[in-house]
Structure 1
Amino acid sequence: MSSENITLPITGMSCANCALSIERTLKKVQGVGGTNVNFAAEQASVSFDPGKVKVSDLVKMIEDAGYGIATAKVELPITGMTCANCAMNIERTLNKKVSGVVRASVNFASERASVEYLPTLTSVDAIIAAVQKAGFDAIIPDESPEAEDVEQRARRAEIAEQTRKFAVGLLFTVPLFLGSMGRDFGLLGAWSHALWVNWVFWILATPVQFYTGWDYYTGGRKSLRNRSANMDVLVAMGS
């Protein structure tokens, strides 16, 4: 059995149990020999048989478990296509024969290929070489993302998204906390027990639950679907 080792940059982990959950998920995949997920480094090292499982399958399993992979995307103008079948041939070549390509789609009408790939495993040059080997040609883009830049960009985007959700949660939680605690401890007048006050509290709580906390619900659902439980499940149940 031939074996290949890869390192995947993971996004979306919030605790060490997330790393264990990803490990359990990957070990269920036929063809995976061993896996080690490092929470501190936010990376998954996977040993697998490329004849039984593809990199794109591993990425899909991780995404289905509620996490993400730091990938790069590139759009390549394609020349030499004469029919829709040509586009299908290129798409099939990129998806099945280029290790590191997560997903690829080719549009015959616009003569462009959209490719999502792992820059730690393949490159734009390798993708273009595969297109040329299939009997077509691709125009090299002006700039191609470096592996380190792609991962850093993914980390920055994740931090920005979490910061935005934290700010929204804080904005709505502070008045909700002060109002509800003030009412419970009798610090507010009788007006605080009016029905409309409960509606105000509900309005304040809704974005906290379903915007700031939405990741916990989606992560918990995906974790349970994979027959495991993580912190997302615990937080979702508690809220």
Structure 2
Amino acid sequence: MNNEIMSNPHIIKKTYPVLHMTCASCANSVESMLNSQDGVEQAAVNFASGTVNISFDDTKLKAARLQEVVQSIGYDLDIEDTELSSEKMEAQQAAKIKEVKIKTIGSIALSLPIVIIGMFFMSSDGHSSIPYANEIMWFLATPVVFWFGKDFFIN
């Protein structure tokens, strides 16, 4: 009698990009949702690379259903051709890096005057030698917090 375990020929092993994850908890949510699906042998999400390695039975489950499950919890699974997906992922990462650079430069540009006013033009009793200093600082700080810092609060 042969004791070798026969592998299921219908098991597909794929790596898909997972979009819109912002933290390790997001990765855990995606992983647990995928692992709970009938037909999924194993799903392992890598937050650092933004991908999921998944083994599933294609007779019980299709990739489109996996995408629907991930979308139902607020993320997305890119099930397109892997070469196209890789290029798409790189383009999205480059766009995200550009956005972070712009937001960082904008935050610095608006925060520097706040620091200068607060450090050099304010007295210990809260009065300033600049008229409307508090209003100016408030005006400069508002976009830093609510526009440039929006992602921090959302995440």
> Do they superpose with TM above 0.5?
yes
Instruction: Return structure 1 stretches of 4+ with deviation > 6 angstroms.
Output: none
List gaps (5 residues or longer) in structure 2.
1-7
Alpha-carbon distance in structure 1 between the residues aligned to 2:64 and 2:87: 28
Amino acid corresponding to residue 151 of structure 1 in structure 2: M
Aligned pairs for 1:54-93 (under 5 A) are: 54-61=65-72, 64=74
Cα deviation for residue 119 of structure 1 reads 2.9
Could you say which residue in structure 1 is the equivalent of 2:128?
191
Equivalent residues of 1:4, 1:50 under 8 A apart: no
Amino acid corresponding to residue 117 of structure 2 in structure 1: G
Aligned pairs for 1:123-134 (under 5 A) are: none
SS in 2 for 1:191: coil
State the Cα deviation string for residues 67-101 of structure 1 (Å, max 9, x = none).
Answer: x66x5xxxxxxxxxxxxxxxxxxxxxxxxxxxx3x
Amino acid corresponding to residue 216 of structure 1 in structure 2: F
Equivalent residues of 1:38, 1:44 under 8 A apart: yes
Equivalent residues of 1:11, 1:155 under 8 A apart: no
Could you say which residue in structure 1 is the equivalent of 2:3?
none
Alpha-carbon distance in structure 2 between the residues aligned to 1:20 and 1:3: 28
Equivalent residues of 2:30, 2:45 under 8 A apart: no
State the Cα deviation string for residues 107-162 of structure 1 (Å, max 9, x = none).
Answer: xxxxxxxxxxx332xxxxxxxxxxxxxxxxxxxxxxxx833322221111111111
SS in 2 for 1:40: coil
- The answer to whether the aligner puts 1:45 opposite 2:53 as a matched pair is yes
Aligned to 1:163, which of 98, 101, 124? Answer: 101
Percent identical pairs in the alignment equals: 24
Q: Which has the larger radius of gyration?
A: 2
Cα deviation for residue 26 of structure 1 reads 3.5
Alpha-carbon distance in structure 1 between the residues aligned to 2:145 and 2:101: 16
Could you say which residue in structure 2 is the equivalent of 1:27?
32
Say which structure, 1 or 2, has more relative contact order (CA 8 Å, 6+ apart). 2
SS in 2 for 1:160: helix
- The answer to whether the aligner puts 1:119 opposite 2:95 as a matched pair is no
Aligned to 1:176, which of 84, 90, 114? Answer: 114
Equivalent residues of 1:3, 1:50 under 8 A apart: no
List gaps (5 residues or longer) in structure 1.
72-99, 101-117, 121-144, 219-231, 233-239
Equivalent residues of 1:20, 1:37 under 8 A apart: no
Equivalent residues of 1:26, 1:61 under 8 A apart: no
